[in-house]
Amino acid sequence: MCGVCGCADPANEVSMTDSQTGVKVLLRDDHAHDHGHDHDHAHSHDDHHHGHDEPHVHGPGGEIISLETAILGKNNEIATRNRGWFEGRGVIALNIVSSPGSGKTTLLEETIKRMKDKADIAVIEGDQMTSNDADRIRDAGARAVQINTGAGCHLEADMIAFAVQSLDPQTGSILMIENVGNLVCPAMFDLGEKMKIAVISTTEGEDKPTKYPHMFRAVEWVVINKMDLAPHVDFDEEACRQNILEVNPGVKIFCLSARTGDGMDAWCSSLAELKA
């Protein structure tokens, strides 16, 4: 995992920017984060570039542990602490996942505007670079922090822990975590959220759920966005629904257009019910 995705870049830098103050905080530099494993072992030159065996670390008793197990184990420990923090304060944390360009940020903008009198919403934005999305969220009326993952392709639990300290979501609020656009790695990383929500768009076609089944099995809600474009791209809504339910029979599906507002009432009502 860490050996094949952007996280393995030794020059990777992860930072967080508070969109209200503009203050930038460096979370990880030169891959100084250890994902919960020893830096010398887990990211040695031999492991990532010349070794033929699976990258590994050594446990407390000298036993060999796969790198993937070590990464996810440490992440899950922090995610459990995050979840306890959220539950203790009545914060509903939602992990919004999608491929790039599905309309996640537009969906969040419209949700914030429509629910401003019903719920306090705070947002953690995840992107490899720029603070564009956090700026848009702030303009829509919500507090936001931007996490830039550099070459990293997903958010991790420790990043959320840092961001929450700065954001300090109110008791009883909804915390939207807009993950990095990617339908692979975010499926494996628990952030401490109440649930994952996938956003797909009509312009992506009907087969995304069957192409990325691990992600769609990990979510509880799926939003099919850009329904206003469906007639122009020959999108088959029924086929898409069938593909989603084939992978995850218990998932809840919303069809909407964040741009035109069609279907947004049902989405916002469900969020309000979730909060209640």
CATH of the domain at 212: 3.40.50.300
pLDDT at 36 over 50: no
CA distances from 162 to 65, 146, 177, 225 (A): 27, 11, 13, 30
Tell me the β-bridge partners of 224.
200, 255
Name the residue range of residue 230's domain: 67-273
Domain count, the chain: 1
CA distances from 100 to 8, 91, 179 (A): 21, 27, 10
Within a domain: 264: yes
Within a domain: 130: yes
For residues 53-74, give the mean pLDDT: 57
Within a domain: 48: no
Residue 84, SS3? helix
Q: What are the pLDDT digits (tens) for 22-35?
A: 776 777 664 334 43
Instruction: State pTM to two decimals.
Output: 0.79
Within a domain: 111: yes
Within a domain: 187: yes
- Give the residue from 156, 109, 148, 145 showing the smallest Cα distance to 127: 148
Least confident of 43-47, 135-139, 197-201: 43-47
Within a domain: 250: yes
- Give the residue from 66, 85, 104 showing the smallest Cα distance to 157: 85
pLDDT at 123 over 70: yes
Q: Is residue 14 very low, low, confident or very high in pLDDT (cuts 50, 70, 90)?
A: confident
Within a domain: 127: yes
Within a domain: 98: yes
